[in-house]
Amino acid sequence: MRRTRILTAVLALAAGLLAGTPPALAADSPKTALAADTYTWKNARIDGGGFVPGIVFNRSEKNLAYARTDIGGAYRWVQSSKTWTPLLDSVGWDDWGHTGVASLASDSVNPDRVYAAVGTYTNSWDPGNGAILRSSNRGASWQKTDLPFKLGGNMPGRGMGERLAIDPNKNSVLYLGAPSGKGLWRSTDSGVTWSQVANFPNVGNYVQDPSDTSGYASDNQGIVWVTFDERTGASGNATQTIYVGVADKDNAVYRSTDGGASWSRLAGQPTGYLAHKGVLDTVNGYLYIAYSDKGGPYDGGKGRLLRYATSTGTWTDISPVAEADTYYGFSGLSVDRQDPGTVMATAYSSWWPDTQIFRSTDSGATWTRAWDYSSYPNRSNRFTMDVSSSPWLTWGANPSPPEQAPKLGWMTEALEIDPFNSSRMMYGTGATVYGTENLTNWDSGSQFTIKPMAQGLEETAVLDLASPPSGGAQLFSALGDIGGFRHTDLTKVPTMMYTQPNFTTTTSLDFAESNPNTVVRAGNLDAGPHIAFSTDNGANWFGGSDPSGVSGGGTVAAASDGSRFVWSPAGTGVQYTTGFGSSWAASSGIPAGAIVESDRVDAKTFYGFKSGKFYVSTDGGATFTASAATGLPSGDSVRFKALPGTKGDVWLAGGATDGAYGLWHSTNGGTSFTKLSNVEQADTVGFGKAATGASYQTLYTSAKIGGVRGIFRSTDQGSTWTRINDDAHQWGWTGDAITGDPRVYGRVYASTNGRGVIYGDSSDAGGGGGGGTDPTPTPTGACAVTYKITSQWSGGFQADVQLSNTGSSAWSGWSLGWTFPGGQTIGQLWNAEFTQSGSAVTAKNVTWNANVAAGSSVSFGFTGNWSGTNTKPTAFKLGDQSCTVL
């Protein structure tokens, strides 16, 4: 699905200073004491939820596969659990654009190596240039080379590819096809440095919409794929014949036969089309090319499939459907490496009634389809679909034939047959990764089974979050493209997204604080109401009515007792209602487009914010009055919330680097605000269960504090802060929503723009302060260790270690030692310092995780190397104390 949000606040590079009159309330300057807590981070499971434009199998190692997403990073397949593991969670706030992956390449010479070409937008929406990320441990850690141009992981044409390719004979040589007229680029040192291939003759000229002044649809889609003919080289010597696809309808394919020294347009090629994919069958000597008249992934009205004989230069049209009968383009091209005469392709842009998948077992001479019409509108499918693991993929629909639910897919640009297993295929859609493990049933006339293969791949863009104090729901989420979910168990995929109505994007949601069975959400929908209500804690919904002029969801707030609602929709002014929105009246005194929230105690008090002004209503939203508060952010990149349990206690976060930016607090219902001097920048604020012994709820924020960007927690009203994430867990942009859990101390839910709903649990179950102490690593008392290998590959592995304080006294520092039984060596370790001498390893705390309370634990992880066997250590010592091994 299309996600093109402009992340204004993400451009923050330095703290903004307060301008104008100081706030009316005076306060002691809070201390800037940073500490850190050990958190475990997971996703609230949804499984999928976004477009997967690329799937890459390694050609030399079984079960090694990667997936790239347009805004949510890259993933590696874990065969033992049949799940995906995220690889780019370390991307930080300032580099948020690097969560968009324009291309990905896995090295068949050295399978430990993987490369990603990253960057989300080529226009002004992404302020940074693209980069090449390179890893020597399958994505466990990365090194970066910045590029002098932008890349477009979420731009038009992102399903074409792969733009990034490794020479299969000399793996130090890589090529990258750039967008925006930047040409073809080459590296000869394994991706460390890059230079433009100056003699490449065509930088592309295709743009989706030249009239688009934003630059999104008017950018030149550039050079879109690179394919090596591995037969024309030898191990250690560069491949001589290279094919390159260019976004130029008249000159779509070029070739070099001298290792890139010279290039020429491939003679005899068709014109009028873009070459989405170019896949070479080296056994039979055929280059297959999937063509479309558009760049995709949404558009495409005509298409062709061509086969080029590399030895004779003969072109053959092998299209499975006559050109005149296509209403879609072709993509998703794959060759079965175990049986190279078998070829598959997709009708990627066939939205209705469904996508189509084509298969040939004779090099394209004849084709069969995944489904045919038996007698219109009825269909005969060669497949069955089992979405029991992600039942929401039906969208709750019951369509009339020829449509079916769930759909086979849409935006099916990526389809790959496992190069080691002809029975396994994976393909990406706009919502998930589907796959099958009995694909060859297709050829025998029996049905093959398609299932989601998306566990661990979480790709939703999160716009709002709410965790109620009671009821069956643990979490409500507002999501782009798929609406949102009610989670009753964070470890399980919900049965269905919100329905009745089913918003494409939910923009805002809220519950009544003292009556959490009452829930409201607002969102975008092509036809139908833009607001919905629930009276059973979000289990079931009914639509309200729209006031005149509503064009989008905007923000919505529920009174603390659920008796009334205030709504600020797109397209018209702020509205209020009593009951459940059967009729609305215009609020006065507040501008259209204001952000609205409710007081969590007084059912008639609502708040609003617009362009630096704070507004208050004490009559249920009928009239608002502008507060005299000054010094607040002048723009609208602001989120604010009222504290549950206390009337008039409001926290406001937001701003921009060219003005006021940070975190403000009001204790008088917004009459005045105090800016926290120890918070340089803040973009979200939320509340959770108070720490043991604390009377005030725990604060959470996505912020910059003490010069560090992260997710922070305070148990003392913002006087001190604890950074609770680490550099390995940053998720790019986290500036839309955050909330604690009112029932579980330390639990926090954070939004991402493409990595789904992240939640973290603290090892400090009871709660602690915010400050840190100097470590003294001389702990005493009982301890226990859990050592877990989380990923393993040929010669390498990743492990997590959890050290638990099972004694009765707190530690103010720790030092854990063990000996590797198989001579393993550590390459990189995080959340601790380490030394290794031979097989003996010592890991010591860092400053922020020195303190471990009795009954709590601390965790760290590392990547390492092994040979022979990767046997786990059997003994661990905390100083001189032996630990129990769990």
Catalytic residues: 70, 481
According to DSSP, residue 28 is labeled: P
574 touches 590 (CB < 8 A) = yes
Q: Which residues contact 324 (CB under 8 A, 6 or more apart)?
A: none
**What Cα–Cα distance (Å) separates residue 596 from each residue in 23, 138, 591, 615, 861?**
22, 45, 11, 9, 42
| CB-count burial class (<10 Å; 0-12, 13-18, 19+) for 376 | exposed
Nearest Cα to Cα of residue 483 among 497, 462, 463: 497
Beta bridge partner(s), residue 606: 598, 617
Structure token pair of residue 333: 């091209």
Beta bridge partner(s), residue 738: 750
What's the rounded Cα separation, in Å, for the pair 803 and 612? 48
The DSSP line for 93-107 is GGGGGGGSEEEEEE-
720 touches 771 (CB < 8 A) = yes
> Residue 861 is inside which H or E element, if any?
strand 857-865
Nearest Cα to Cα of residue 331 among 436, 410, 233, 265: 410
The C-alpha angle 507, 508, 509, rounded to 5 degrees, equals: 140
Q: Which residues contact 84 (CB under 8 A, 6 or more apart)?
A: 67, 75, 76, 77, 78, 433, 454, 455, 456, 457
Beta bridge partner(s), residue 739: 749
What's the rounded Cα separation, in Å, for the pair 346 and 329? 8
865 touches 825 (CB < 8 A) = yes
Sheet holding 674-675, edge to edge: 638-642, 650-655, 661-666, 674-675
What's the rounded Cα separation, in Å, for the pair 44 and 757? 6
Q: 44 by DSSP, 3-state: which?
A: coil
